[in-house]
Amino acid sequence: MDDSTKEERPNLCKLLEERLIELGLDAETYGPYVVGSDAEELPDVMELLKASSEEEELEDSVWETFSQDVLKAIEQDETFHQEKKNAKKLEAQKKEQELAEKNKAAIKEAEQQPKQAAPKSSQVDDAQKKALMQRFGYEMPDEEEEEVAGVVTNKQAAAAANVERTQELRSKKTTTKKEEQQKTKEQKQSKVQLKEERRKKAIKGERKR
């Protein structure tokens, strides 16, 4: 009986190795006959063993007891085999469950990441809009906000620069206009004052005459 048979039918193989010698039979030669038979075939196998035994004086009760022991060993091996099969099945189910839980946790984590990142992006975007409003006095259009969330694009930067230059030009233009008006006013006042002084001098000259 080979090792694989002993692993599959440990109880029966052990029984045959111990008892076949007592019955005047070689275990390696006649053991496979017993191992390869089922309950229905066992009586015929027992007749073969009796005929082949070197112990001719063995009573029938000995063979009957041996036959019953073989049936018990077969049942024990079937139970052992079923338990082994169930253990493998449970182990496979356990691994499958663990894998399912890991996959579930990974999916849950992946679903939570965008939700956690969204408020952060929104906060950055609000802060940038607030800074632009404080600096330039206007809010970026929604179309430009949607281009890249949380990032000032080249288009936005160019627009902001144009607004800043426009405001500077307006400021300079306003200042220049005010200066011109003030200068014109001063010139008019100077002309009026000069004219008044000339008039007074003329009046004094007339009086002296």
Residue with tokens 């079937």: 78
Cα(130)–Cα(138) distance, integer angstroms: 9
Task: Give the distance, in angstroms, between the CA of residue 138 and the centroid of all CA atoms in the same chain.
Answer: 41
Contacts with 33 (C-beta within 8 Å, 6 or more apart), sequence order: 45, 48, 49
- Are the beta carbons of 129 and 140 closer than 8 angstroms? yes
Rounded distance between C-alpha atoms, residue 25 and residue 46, angstroms? 12
Q: Note the pLDDT of residue 67.
A: 94
Q: Which amino acid is at 204?
A: K
Sign of CA dihedral 124, 129, 130, 134: positive
pLDDT tens for the 209 residues of the chain, in order:
788 888 888 999 999 999 999 999 999 999 999 998 888 899 999 999 999 998 888 899 999 999 999 999 999 999 988 998 899 999 999 999 999 988 888 888 888 886 655 555 566 566 666 666 666 555 455 544 444 444 445 666 666 666 677 777 666 666 666 777 777 777 777 777 777 777 776 676 655 55
pTM over 0.75: no
How many angstroms from the chain centroid is the CA of residue 50? Answer: 69
Q: How far apart are CA 8 and CA 24, in angstroms?
A: 25
Name the residue ranges covered by the structural domains of the chain. 3-103, 153-208
Strand extents, DSSP E, 41-185: none
Contact 150, 121 (CB under 8 A): yes
- Using the 8-state DSSP alphabet, how is residue 152 labeled? -
